[in-house]
């Protein structure tokens, strides 16, 4: 996407800042809406609960010696007006107790209303009547209970009336709103400050990483990323440092690969060019030996190009495998015999050890490449005795092929690296006796496509053992002498 088509994006500082501010504003708006919509309802519920609690406490303390003083204190504490009317069974009022100046005192002369409440409560067997008056701003609660207190000759009826304001006073509402306004301003300021410092603390390491990542894109592999701060920032720094190390190694490997391939290409080309010029300038030098050198070097050059193409196909996943059941033992034996003929004039000894014939499922052409390259590698690095041993061993239904040389061996830290293309242990590239130097890379990728286990064990000064394993599909063990005799008798 071109720069002109890119949409402008906010920095992480502004994203966090706007997010925190939006969250704070949403909280403030919700609290304002809640206050305007539910303040009256909450106030009413609180008052109703206070009246209910006061009713229970009054009824529990009717027979208390100082219940009148107790009720006065309770009324003041719960912010309600309380009156107790004592009735006979006929509904006649014989005693009244209420606070001075309370709104209930105005009911004392309204005996008709009081008696109608008494009658309704009596018929409802202790009916609790809650009603609102004065446009819903006052709550009146009536509770009827039959008790015999000290001084009563017989059980009497006590009617408890409580009333309170269920709408918050305008002064209280104004105070709450003023306090909420101040708190809203404080919250906004606090959110701005917190958002600023929080976004700075998060964005600062990210900005540093971004600058260093730009340097990394310019092939500066010496940059290091900080692993400080929140967990995610630390993990990001660790991942980027790991990626930087991998890119650095890849760059070094790439340079070495180009240098090594150039070396292996230049050597045969130089020889082909040199021998061709000699044969052109000196007709007497047009001998079969010189022609053979040109042919051999051309073959080596062709082999290198083919191996490079093979490695490329294997690593890109475009190589198609032709899997079928084959004799692993015969494939290994045939490869060993070809090598014996090829190197008989150089006095190399290749020993094959196997005690049965094993069949596996594999791509025969690719498997022969594996065996060929492992033997070829062993020949290039074996010791002065020029001996290579190829072993076939069985462990249950798993067959292992081991190729053993007697060379200088490989140190433990270098073992994981030898499967890379053109990896050099001694960092001095030398021309292989046979092959192109890409053999182990080809082996690795072919065995990975087969899903086979493989590896190497080595000890410095005692040689190396390269191995790979397959699941055996069929095992044919040779007949013993006794079995052969029995077959002849039959």
Contact 265, 272 (CB under 8 A): no
Q: What pLDDT, on the 0 to 100 scale, is given for residue 104?
A: 59
Q: What pLDDT, on the 0 to 100 scale, is given for residue 194?
A: 81
% of the chain surpassing 90 pLDDT: 11
pLDDT at 389 exceeding the cut of 90: yes
Contact 383, 406 (CB under 8 A): yes
Q: Please tell us whether the domain made up of 231-313 is placed in CATH 1.10.287.130.
A: yes
State the pLDDT confidence band at 399, using cuts at 50, 70 and 90: very high
Q: What pLDDT, on the 0 to 100 scale, is given for residue 464?
A: 92
% of the chain surpassing 70 pLDDT: 78
Please state, in angstroms and rounded to a whole number, the distance separating the CA atoms of residues 62 and 52.
Answer: 16
**Residue, of 360 and 138, whose pLDDT is higher:** 360
- Top-confidence range, 54-58, 88-92, 370-374: 370-374
**Residue, of 403 and 9, whose pLDDT is higher:** 403
Mean pLDDT of 107-125: 70
Q: What pLDDT, on the 0 to 100 scale, is given for residue 429?
A: 41
- 256-297 pLDDT, tens digit per residue, is 667 666 766 776 788 888 888 888 888 888 888 888 888 877
- 135-193 pLDDT, tens digit per residue, is 456 677 777 777 777 667 777 777 777 777 777 777 777 877 788 788 888 888 888 88
Residue with tokens 């094959």: 352
- 432-479 pLDDT, tens digit per residue, is 444 455 778 888 888 988 899 999 999 888 899 999 999 999 988 876
Domains in the chain: boundaries: 21-171, 231-313, 320-476
Order of all β-strands in the sheet with 357-362? 324-327, 357-362, 474-476
Domain 320-476, CATH number (from 3.40.50.460, 1.25.40.10, 3.30.565.10, 3.40.50.300): 3.30.565.10
Q: What pLDDT, on the 0 to 100 scale, is given for residue 315?
A: 65
Q: What pLDDT, on the 0 to 100 scale, is given for residue 237?
A: 81
Q: What pLDDT, on the 0 to 100 scale, is given for residue 316?
A: 66
**Residue, of 366 and 398, whose pLDDT is higher:** 398
State the pLDDT confidence band at 427, using cuts at 50, 70 and 90: very low
Give the residue from 328, 322, 321, 320 showing the smallest Cα distance to 469. Answer: 328
pLDDT at 25 exceeding the cut of 50: yes
Output Rg (C-alpha) for the chain, integer angstroms.
Answer: 50
Q: What pLDDT, on the 0 to 100 scale, is given for residue 361?
A: 94
Q: How far apart are the first and last CA of the chain?
A: 83
State the pLDDT confidence band at 8, using cuts at 50, 70 and 90: low
Contact 329, 354 (CB under 8 A): yes
CA distances from 168 to 40, 161, 178 (A): 7, 21, 15
State the pLDDT confidence band at 428, using cuts at 50, 70 and 90: very low
The CATH fold of domain 21-171: Beta-Lactamase (3.30.450)
Give the residue from 317, 349, 322 showing the smallest Cα distance to 336. Answer: 349
Give the residue from 409, 399, 373, 366 showing the smallest Cα distance to 471. Answer: 399
pTM: 0.47
């Amino acid at each position: 996407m071109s720069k002109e088509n890119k949409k402008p994006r906010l920095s992480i500082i502004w994203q966090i800042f706007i997010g925190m501010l939006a969250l704070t504003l949403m909280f403030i708006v919700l609290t304002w809406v809640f206050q305007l919509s539910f303040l009256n309802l909450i106030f009413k519920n609180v008052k109703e609960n206070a009246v209910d609690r006061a009713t229970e406490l009054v009824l529990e303390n009717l027979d208390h010696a100082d219940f009148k003083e107790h009720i006065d204190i309770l009324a003041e504490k719960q912010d309600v007006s309380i009156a107790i009317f004592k009735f006979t069974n006929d509904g006649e009022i014989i005693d009244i107790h209420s606070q001075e100046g309370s709104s209930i005192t105005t009911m004392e002369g309204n005996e008709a209303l009081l008696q109608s409440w008494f009658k309704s409560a009596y018929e409802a067997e202790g009916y609790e009547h809650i009603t609102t008056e004065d446009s819903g701003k006052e709550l009146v609660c009536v509770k009827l209970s039959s008790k015999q207190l000290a001084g009563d000759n017989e059980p009497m009826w006590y009617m408890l009336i409580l009333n309170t304001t269920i709408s918050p006073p305008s002064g209280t509402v104004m105070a709450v709103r003023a306090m909420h306004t101040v708190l809203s301003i404080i919250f906004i300021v606090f959110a701005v400050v917190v958002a600023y410092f929080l976004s700075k603390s998060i964005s600062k390491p990210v900005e540093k990483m971004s600058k260093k990542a730009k340097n990394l894109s310019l092939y500066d592999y010496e940059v290091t990323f900080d692993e400080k701060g929140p967990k995610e920032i630390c993990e990001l720094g660790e991942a980027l440092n790991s990626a930087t190390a991998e890119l650095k190694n890849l760059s070094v490997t790439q340079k070495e690969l180009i240098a090594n391939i150039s070396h292996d290409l230049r050597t045969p080309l130089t020889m082909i060019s040199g021998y061709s010029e000699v044969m052109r300038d000196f007709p007497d030098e047009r001998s079969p030996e010189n022609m053979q050198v040109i042919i051999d070097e051309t073959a080596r050059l062709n082999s290198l190009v083919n191996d490079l193409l093979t490695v490329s196909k294997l690593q890109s996943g475009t190589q198609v495998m032709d899997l079928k059941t084959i004799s692993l033992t015969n494939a290994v034996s045939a490869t060993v015999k070809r090598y014996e003929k090829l190197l008989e004039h150089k006095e190399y000894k290749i020993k094959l050890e196997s005690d049965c014939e094993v069949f596996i499922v594999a791509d025969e052409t690719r498997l022969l490449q594996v065996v060929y390259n492992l033997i070829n590698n062993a020949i290039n690095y074996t010791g002065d005795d020029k001996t290579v041993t190829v072993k076939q061993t069985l462990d249950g239904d798993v067959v292992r092929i081991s190729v053993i040389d007697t060379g200088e061996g490989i140190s433990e830290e270098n073992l994981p690296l030898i499967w890379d293309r053109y990896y050099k242990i001694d960092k001095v590239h030398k021309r292989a006796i046979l092959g192109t130097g890409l053999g182990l890379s080809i082996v690795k990728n072919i065995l990975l496509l087969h899903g086979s286990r493989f590896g190497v064990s080595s000890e410095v000064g005692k040689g190396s053992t390269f191995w790979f394993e397959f699941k055996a599909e069929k095992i044919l063990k040779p007949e013993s002498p006794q079995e052969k005799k029995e077959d002849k008798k039959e």
